[in-house]
């Protein structure tokens, strides 16, 4: 009789142990299947050239050592950082970047109808009615395509451009400058007026 009670008691413990084991295996399988599914979704998005993230109506402020250095506005951002070789961010409806001077004033604005920023190089390609305006120097650059190296604070284009200063209007093909247009070099230029280069 004691043996039977012992077996019944141990059977209850054993069945509880089996149920807990099955439940643990089931939960573990669910966890791993979710992990695999998330990886499969990321891979599928990459294969189908879809963004891993999307953001709308962005108004972002960048700071360095507590000081605001620039502001970014865009109505739509696609995040393609899931690309292994060339991760990038796309701004299909354009962007506007305002660079803030050390005295806290808006000094330079860069805007365009479309942009793509390559994450590894930090180089942006901006297209469609691209305009850079330096408010403090009263200088404006207009072009249809511009490359902007954010690390070097440098812009360049091989497309046609128009540079408007307080003294002159210069047209040409091929232009490079500091991002605030204080120092620049132009190729194949036409125009009239005095040009003062800093």
Are the C-beta atoms of 93 and 110 separated by less than 8 Å? no
* SS3 call for 135: coil
- As to burial, measured by CB atoms within 10 angstroms (0-12 exposed, 13-18 middle, 19+ buried), residue 95 is buried
Pairing of strands 106-112, 154-164: unpaired
pLDDT of residue 82: 86
Interacting residues of 16 by C-beta distance below 8 A, sequence separation 6+: none
* pLDDT tens string 9-48: 444 444 444 444 455 555 555 555 555 566 665 555 555 5
- For residues 97 and 59, give the distance between their C-alpha atoms in angstroms, rounded to a whole number: 10
Q: Quick count: other Cβ atoms within 10 Å of Cβ 4?
A: 8
Which residue would you say has higher pLDDT here, 64 or 141?
A: 141
């Amino acid at each position: 009789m004691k043996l039977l009670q012992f077996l019944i008691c141990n059977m209850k413990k054993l069945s509880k142990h089996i149920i807990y084991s099955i439940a643990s295996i089931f939960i573990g399988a669910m966890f791993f299947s979710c992990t695999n599914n998330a990886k499969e979704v990321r891979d599928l998005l990459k294969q189908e050239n879809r963004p891993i993230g999307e953001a709308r109506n962005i108004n972002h402020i960048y700071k360095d050592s507590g000081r605001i250095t620039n502001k970014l506005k865009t109505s739509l951002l696609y995040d393609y950082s899931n690309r292994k070789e060339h991760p990038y961010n796309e701004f299909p409806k354009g962007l506007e970047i305002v660079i803030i001077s050390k005295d806290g004033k808006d000094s330079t604005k860069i805007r365009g109808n479309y942009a793509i920023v390559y994450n590894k190089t930090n180089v942006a390609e901006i297209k469609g009615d691209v305009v850079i305006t330096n408010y403090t120097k009263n200088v404006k650059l207009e072009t249809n395509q511009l490359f902007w190296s954010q690390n070097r604070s440098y812009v360049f284009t091989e497309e046609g451009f128009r540079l408007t200063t307080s003294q002159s209007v210069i047209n040409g093909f091929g232009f490079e400058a500091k991002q605030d247009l204080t120092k620049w070099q132009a190729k194949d230029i036409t125009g009239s007026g005095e040009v003062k280069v800093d």
